[in-house]
A and B are shown apart, each in its own frame.
Chain A
Amino acid sequence: MERKTKINAEDGKQDIMITREFDLPLELLFKAFEEPELVAQWMGTKVLKLECKKHGSYQFETTDNKGNKHGFNGVFHEFIPNTKIIRTFEMDSVPFGVQLEITEFEKLTDDTSKLNMHVIYESVAQRDELLKLPFAQGLNWAHNRLEELLKTLK
């Protein structure tokens, strides 16, 4: 199967481009970013605040499997329905700084749409750190899964 989500991260740059095509009409894709209950469902997070308007702000909170809470927050710089969202994104209490996300919504056909997410980080080093984060987490998950597997084999 073709990889649906594409990441373009050039060496030595402080931004990345995330693109993805959806089997969803444009309006439905956009709704997933607008309705708090829907955001909560697909992001797997608690939506504490979501003001979908220019200069509005948002606050999310996720709880990991150890019960630790992780907060995320940001401010909308632009919120144009079915077209474009510009927002900042910041994780609470971690030294990764703030990132700027420019998300564009594009209609392909009546039933399909495309998302272009341009993410700009504070520095090249910070971008690279964040890109490697799921790699490090994946390592922990792999270990945890192995442990669980071993338990079932006992």
Chain B
Amino acid sequence: MNLRRDVFQAIADPTRRAILLLVAAQSLTAGAIAANFGTARPTVSKHLQILTECELLKQEQNGREIFYHINAKNMKQVADFIEPFRKMWDDRFNVLEAVMKAYQKKNKEH
């Protein structure tokens, strides 16, 4: 199994990213997670299944309920998690380059 590819696919979906962020804050039951979304409960269950299968989430039995929590060890291995951070700096530096090229051109003309 290509875990990395699966993980990437798992976090490519906005709902699954939202679930990860929710569960990152605190362990929750499937019902509590579903309550945050406008989608049907089975849809959320499917997302939870995918996230559990690629080991981003872990299930833990607590009494009669199952709680989902973040598999921190695996999350850290997800380099893609910092991709938006990289993108933020890349965008920012692209603007810097454009701004300075315009500045250079303006000063050459004068």
Contacts and interface: CB of A to CB of B under 8 A. Distances in A.
B21 to A, nearest CB: 6
B76 interface: yes
Interface residues of B, number: 28
Contacts of A139: 14, 17-18, 21
B84 A24 contact: no
Interface stretch (A50-58, A64-72, A83-91, A128-136): A128-136
A28 B99 CA distance: 10
A31 B107 CA distance: 13
Contacts, number: 86
Contacts of A23: 97, 101
A38 B81 contact: no
Can you list the 3 inter-chain pairs with the closest CB atoms, starting with the nearest? A5-B90, A134-B84, A42-B96
A6 B83 CA distance: 10
Interface string A1-34: 0011111010110000010101110001101100
B89 A18 contact: yes
A80 interface: no
Contacts of A142: 14
24 contacts: A4-B94, A5-B86, A5-B93, A20-B89, A22-B97, A24-B97, A24-B101, A24-B104, A28-B104, A29-B100, A32-B96, A32-B99, A41-B95, A42-B95, A43-B92, A128-B76, A130-B85, A132-B85, A134-B88, A135-B17, A135-B81, A135-B85, A136-B21, A139-B21
Contacts of A9: 82
Contacts of A137: 84
Residue of A11, A28, A142 with most partner-chain B CB within 10 A? A28
A138 interface: yes
